[in-house]
Chains A and B, each alone.
Chain A
């Protein structure tokens, strides 16, 4: 892929014609795409794929790979995001094209460090493995043939790892490999090739990064959790200040619920808390005027001088709305950011309760929220396994009384949004979860079991930025 300079919005990818044929629903991404796409499409394709890979990651933690809930949820997500899916569907051109292009865009974003590369390769492999697993047997033959892989008889020199340990039958210089081993070989090949390709991409990255249209986008992709940053004020003005108290118990994630309560109790929050909570409120729809009013009211109750507020704090609030200084419209913090950065100290109420609270205190807090003992137990188990966001999902499920929250939590505003959807009786939520009419306790217990027994990959975002990612690659 080459990027022409200039300030044009249209991004031209050099290459030949637009006609690229995608004969199969899955591919090895051997050839980069060669067509022109708009920057907007570039961004949206990339964001969708990040969402997909994040789902792959989360599902891989919450469920045993290959089991029914894992497969159906992943299938749902693929369909929802309109990626290529089944082999014999009509009109698969667009989804396959999307799959193809988005993969290559993400190579640019995720080639930049060893950690990012490992994460990307792991999720792509899991995705490919899943797609293989749903391919009907006869289609596998075709796919492999088209990808120039023989699997009936492989010249022994090409099947070194198989014949050396006498794992396959050799005759006349050919190894005869059973189909299930083929997939393993193929995936290994894929991993090796992708790893090499990413290393190569990294080398040519400076050229890409010098393109000012792409650089912020690529950084954003790999560093933040996903595209939805809740900074667009879609709901601006739809919340009134007097709703906030009730919303905080019904629809706020525990981190914000705790911040709101602290603000109400103490009529004050320190800087970390103001940032985290203030941006969250912006994300749920508070306008600048509302925000100023909200904070001022509360701080004045704390016997603060109104002038002092105007001089000191209102500037900061306006700043966070992008109305001061360099006018960056700050985005509400994602779970990742809250969990990883700026841990709370004495007197702070920000952070993530699941991550930063003492388990005993957390337990008490959950009890005060009237969560059932069983639910508390499950949550504490998840916390012990460092699955903080899954624990928060569990909390969501408990307070909304659903068996499956139906989403992969990665942002406090997402929590709020999803909560509001349920509470406003949105039917979509029900459709996606595969729950029977009467919610049974079994699936959720199963899920917790799977979650705590899924040791191979640790929960998503947290571990990704933390220590080494060796665990991601235990098969």
Chain B
């Protein structure tokens, strides 16, 4: 894999936007079958250009307009915003107060920095294979709830390019949800509460809601390997003191003694469980595993940023956007292979451009026809790079959307209207 040099971005992006960016699929997504008039045209995009120039309220007429503009401006970053009442690029002509954000996908942003208090391997913008499991667990827990509890069907999970993941929920009804309901959904999905000054961040009630129990069951599958081996959360006094801070003081001394005797986090965890189950761990005088679960949840349960999710007009990094610092492409994550997803194998812009160069050299030798349109080129181009499998995941997502839409249209009318989209 080519090492990524940010200084090369302008050139790399030029190539990327001309030959690799999947405009057709992208448009197919955001056009949503063209069922609602001007849905795409009223969508806000924002670009971050070279030298950190940030421009909002970009909007486009159609796919080819989008292409032209992106190739012209060569954005370092692309964000997607809401669908507004008017074309965003004309918002200044609209009467004050009339320009309103109307719809947007429900989005989630899970950032590894929010776990700094519970991961020992990295901090801040760094990630590694030891802490990436947090994202795996997050996807499993949140996706299950979105699918089973809320009935959301069209969920796109995307790697952000550096230290986190995003989720885009694209169901038609979901795009219309109010800010209040979005907040409520985040609240439903939240268990870890409190900032730096709060030691114990999870408090379970006596009655465990099915969402909580199902989430705990997911965490259980990963806990031993993630927390006790990779993170080694009970490795030494410094680390186990943090956990003892979450349990009643009365058992600290005994546990410290026992921990000294042990040789691994695994062993110490067993002692911990014994110590807290049924002695001081009572909820209204009942014995039970609440405290054990609270510790597990504090160390493993997803932490959502409510501000990202609740605002209808919030702008979020676009899938297939490039991360300017790492060069990695924001690629969709295959839900069938969540456990195998490795952020370090996600293609960077330099690597796929390099791959493209290699292909072109080969092709030119065979084809010799340089009058072939860019489009035809491009249809084959990305397919021959490491980007291909990720675009496939995206296409599967789009297929599902189409199918669902066709089903809805059939239900609504007698005529079957075939959505037309540009290729």
Chain A residues near B (Cβ < 8 Å):
156-157, 160-161, 163-166, 169-174
Chain A residues near B184: list those with CB within 8 A.
160-161, 163-164
Question: Given the complex, which residues of A lie within 8 Å of B183, measured CB to CB?
Answer: 164
* B residues in contact with A165, CB < 8 Å: 187-188
CA distance A172 to B151 in the complex (A): 4
Contact of B151 among A160, A161, A163, A173 (CB under 8 A): A173
- CB closest residue in chain A, given B152: A173
* Chain B neighbourhood of A163, CB < 8 A: 184, 188
* 14 sample A-B contacts, Cβ–Cβ < 8 Å, listed by A number: A156-B181, A160-B180, A163-B188, A164-B185, A164-B188, A169-B210, A170-B149, A170-B188, A170-B211, A171-B149, A172-B148, A172-B151, A173-B151, A173-B152
The smallest C-beta distance from B249 to any residue of chain A, in angstroms, reads 30
- Not counting A157-B177, A164-B184, A171-B149, a sample of 10 additional A-B residue pairs whose C-beta atoms are within 8 angstroms of each other reads A156-B151, A163-B188, A165-B187, A165-B188, A166-B211, A171-B151, A172-B149, A172-B150, A173-B149, A173-B152
Instruction: Report the nearest A residue to B147, measured CB to CB.
Output: A172
A171 touches B148 (CB 8 A): yes
Q: Could you tell me the distance between the alpha carbons of A156 and B180 in the complex, rounded to whole angstroms?
A: 12
A65 to chain B, nearest CB (A): 26
Chain A interface, >50% SS class: mixed
CA distance A328 to B305 in the complex (A): 70
Closest chain B CB from A153 CB (angstroms): 11
Complex: how many Å from CA A235 to CA B69? 94
**Which B residues are CB-close (under 8 A) to A160?**
180-181, 184
CB distance from A159 to the nearest CB of B (A): 9
CB-based nearest B residue for A157: B181
The complex places the Cα of A241 from the Cα of B177 at a distance, in Å, of: 77
**Complex interface: chain B residues within 8 A of A169 (CB):** 209-210
* Contacting residues, chain B, for A166 (C-beta < 8 A): 188, 209, 211-212
Interface SS, B side: helix
Task: State which of B150, B209, B210 has its C-beta within 8 Å of the C-beta of A173.
Answer: B150
CB distance from A244 to the nearest CB of B (A): 65
Query: Are the C-beta atoms of B150 and A156 separated by less than 8 Å?
Result: yes
Chain B, residue nearest A166 (CB): B209
Interface flags for B204-238 (1: CB within 8 Å of A; 0: not) read 00000111100000000000000000000000000
Chain B CB count within 10 A is highest, among A156, A165, A166, A174, for A166
Task: Give chain A residues whose Cβ lies under 8 Å from the Cβ of B211.
Answer: 166, 170
Q: Does the CB pair B180–A170 fall under 8 Å?
A: no
| Smallest CB separation, A276 vs chain B (Å) | 55
Known: A163-B184, A164-B183, A165-B187. A174 touches B151 (CB 8 A): yes
Nearest CB in chain A: distance from B191 CB, A: 9
Q: Given the complex, which residues of A lie within 8 Å of B178, measured CB to CB?
A: 157
Q: Complex Cα distance A119/B168, Å?
A: 47
Q: Taking CB as reference atom, which chain A residue is nearest B208?
A: A166
A309 vs B364: C-alpha distance when bound (angstroms): 128
A188 CB to nearest B CB, Å: 15
The distance from the CB of B306 to the nearest CB of chain A, in whole angstroms, is 11
Q: Given contacts A163-B188, A164-B188, A165-B187, are A170 and B150 in contact (CB under 8 A)?
A: yes
Chain B: minimal CB distance from A162 (Å):
9
Q: How far is the CB of A175 from chain B (nearest CB, A)?
A: 10
Contacts of B149 in A (CB 8 A): 170-173
Q: Which residue of B lies closest to A159 (CB)?
A: B184
Write out the residue numbers on chain B whose beta carbons fall within 8 Å of the beta carbon of A156. Answer: 150-151, 181
Minimal beta-carbon separation of B124 from chain A (angstroms): 31
Smallest CB separation, A17 vs chain B (Å): 37
